[in-house]
Amino acid sequence: MLSNSVYEALINLGGKKNNNIFDFIESGLVIKHKSGVKYTVKKIIFNKEPVVLAYRYYAKKNKKVYILITKKDFKNYEPA
């Protein structure tokens, strides 16, 4: 179960709750990998362990590249 403070924080960051998923329709939540690469958070999925679906633009192909970030990898990311 998600705590009220986490729920409120995700809503304040622009998330829209749909069951156990927070969708981020606007591209305002950006995170940065420790390598310096920035990603925009698309969804946060809360099942047994939270998972973040994020993307970045790949300029050479002019398309979005999606990644899944698991809880064990959260330590490699920070707010951008």
Domain that holds residue 59: 4-79
Distance CA 47, CA 33 (A): 23
CA distance between the termini of the chain: 27
Residues ≥6 apart with Cβ < 8 Å to 67? 39, 53, 54, 55, 56
Give the total number of structural domains in the chain.
1
pLDDT tens profile 47-72: 888 899 999 998 888 899 999 999 99
In 3D space, the residue among 4, 23, 1 whose CA is nearest the CA of residue 13 turns out to be: 23
What is the token pair recorded at 73? 């990898």
The pTM for the full model equals: 0.78
pLDDT tens profile 5-48: 877 888 888 888 888 888 886 667 899 999 999 999 999 888 88
